[in-house]
Amino acid sequence: MGIIRTDQWLQEEFGRPVKICEKLKPYFKGQTSNEIYNQLLNFGMYRPSWSSRSNLDRMVEQKAWDKVEHISQKYQKKWNGPDIPVFLFPLAQSRGFFMREVKSKAGVSFPDKMFLFLSHYEDSKEVEALLVHEYHHVCRLRMLNKKIEDYTLLDSIIIEGLAEYAVLKNCGREYLADWCRMYSEREILNFWEKYLKKQLGKKKHEKAHDELLYGGGRIPNLLGYAAGFSIVENFYKNNNYSTKLSFTTPALTFHKHYNNFSEKSR
């Protein structure tokens, strides 16, 4: 798993991120540089500004590329995971639909690549937690080997829950994302019955999928993420954890367990 030296790209073309995204075209088959940039903006990619330039300067000062490479090699070896390119960019200052955000860090993963978006950080363990989450996504996506359009809401919430549970196991509870502590167990149970239970088959292209995963409006904020972690954590209170099995255990296994727990708790 190799870090791509995007620091060199950024020093040359910081003010023209679309130009930088031309270098990403071989990794996004058939997409234009504008399409790539607009896609990455949704997950935390910077827009040129004084603050994002300051983020870049801090990343260079903290040798972020070297640190991320060291961490990525550690987990590729530890998990016997796929060798993929890792791209590092400054984080946007405005919030978006980040796949994971904790202490001003964000990322997004694909089966064949990973993007991390950073600002300043005082504790490098925060970056490790982000990478663990995103690389767990990569490993599970690769092992499940499903077309993206075939993923359901159930698949998505379990993917997020498992990735953050890997953070718990590898980095510690203090490095969990805020959404893991956003709601009580009782609240999650109520949300399961009210919002999620009958909508789990929604596909990624359906509006309800993202509404329930991300929340907003009448839907509790980051509902799918928070529910996913609660469901996975509940499962592992009664089952032994295995990183290898967490890449392949079907989402329906977690669903069945949580349904039983929900029935007993009513």
pLDDT digits (tens, 9 = 90+) for 22-73: 999 999 999 999 999 999 999 999 999 998 999 899 999 999 999 999 999 9
3-state secondary structure of 91: strand
Q: For 106, left (φ over 0), alpha (ψ -120 to 50), or beta?
A: beta
Orientation angle between helical segments 6-13 and 50-61, nearest 10 degrees: 140
pLDDT of residue 166: 98
Q: What is the pLDDT of residues 171-213, one digit of tens each?
A: 999 999 999 999 999 999 999 999 999 999 999 999 999 999 9
Q: What is the pLDDT of residues 95-147, one digit of tens each?
A: 444 444 444 679 999 999 999 999 877 788 999 999 999 999 999 999 998 88
Token pair of 9 as six digits = 């790209």
Q: What is the pLDDT of residues 59-105, one digit of tens each?
A: 999 999 999 999 999 999 999 999 999 999 999 865 444 444 444 67
* Contact (CB, 8 A) for 234 and 257: yes
* Contact (CB, 8 A) for 10 and 89: yes
User: Can you say whether the dihedral through the CA atoms of 48, 104, 219, 224 is positive or negative?
Assistant: positive
Orientation angle between helical segments 50-61 and 64-79, nearest 10 degrees: 70
* Contact (CB, 8 A) for 123 and 69: no
User: Can you say whether the dihedral through the CA atoms of 58, 60, 66, 68 is positive or negative?
Assistant: positive
Q: What percent of the chain has pLDDT over 90?
A: 85
Question: Which residue in the block uniquely carries the two structure tokens 């990794």?
Answer: 27
